[in-house]
Every structure is written in structure tokens, then in C-alpha cells.
Amino acid sequence: MKWLLLTVLLAAAGWLGWRSTAFAGEAPKAGQPAPAFSLPDQNGKVRTQAEFRGKWLALYFYPKDDTPGCTEQACKFRDDLHQLTLLGCQVVGVSVDASASHAEFAQKYSLPFPLLSDAKGAVAARCGSLRDLGVLRFAKRNTFLIDPEGRIAKVYLKADTSRNSQEIISDLKQLTK
């Protein structure tokens, strides 16, 4: 009986481990075209990757609205938005949370940039930024700096919530020289 229980637990753990990586895909690399997206923002407006062409775009994936790390990252982007805008960069956040959750999060912290709802996780998966554990699914904390032509300029895997926006500002200053 113990052997059977142990086998079932190991099989379940293996399946969950496989599932968490099987749907994540590989993150696009610098120089590759940015994956296209068409997702609703916190106000229900559908936003597409094409509307940001001609400008730099900091596309950041985050796990969950109104959690400590995600709040810190979003507020750092909010506080640094003026510097990013001066460098020709727009900011867009993406998670698998619903638009209504994004609306509450954006209002609570006065976030002036779009938060996109990738409820099915399809865009996060194409960007290697989806963690799917079966019953629990969330975006990994990855950021992609996309150039005005729609190509990935920089990739920030496991982005640091306290430094991500400043890293992007620093890199933009180098890339736009």
C-alpha cells in the first residue's frame, strides 16, 4: 500500500513538473521578432503589439496583481515612467489575472500604463513566461525590451522587482546613443 501511494505521489510530482515546463516555451532572444499579442487591458480595451511599433516597449510579465513583489515592480515602473517616456519607451504589464483585477490594482496604485490580461496564458507561453502547475497558473517575472521595429533588444529573465525599471533606463541610454 505504501509503495502504491509513493508511486502515485511521484507520478503526480513528475506530471506537474513536466506540465510546468511543457507549456512555458522558450523565451525569445535578443534580435528575434517580439511575439505578437492582442489582449484586453484593465479598461477592457484590446491592445496589440502593433500599436507600439515605432517606440521602445518594456513588456513585463508578472505573477499576480497586488502581491508584494508585483506591487514593488509596478510602482517602480510608475515612478520611473517619466524617465522612460523621455527615452521613447512605453511600459506594458502582463499577467494571467482578469482585467477587473488589473483595474483594481491599477487604481489602487495609480498605475498609468496598460496592464494586459492574458487569461489563457497564450502570450506568456509564447514568451517563455508561463508557469502552469495544473491547478495554478501564473506568469514568470520576465521583461522584454522591444525596439521600435518590433524586435527583442534585451531580455531580463527573473527580473529583480526593485531594479527592473532602472536596468531598462540604463540599457535604453546605451541603446539609443
* Contact assessment for residue 75 and residue 156, using Cβ atoms and an 8 Å cutoff: no
For helices 164-175 and 68-86, the axis angle rounded to 10 degrees is 20
In whole angstroms, what is the distance from residue 113 CA to residue 83 CA? 14
Residue 70 annotated among the catalytic residues of the structure: yes
Lookup: cell for 169: 533606463
CA-based torsion, 97, 82, 46, 160: positive or negative: negative
- Alpha-carbon distances of 11 from 24, 121, 135, 147, rounded to whole Å: 20, 25, 16, 43
Which residues, in sequence order, are bridge partners of residue 57? 90, 146
What residues have CB less than 8 Å from 63, skipping those under 6 apart?
A: 69, 70, 95, 131, 138, 139, 140, 141
Active site residues: 70
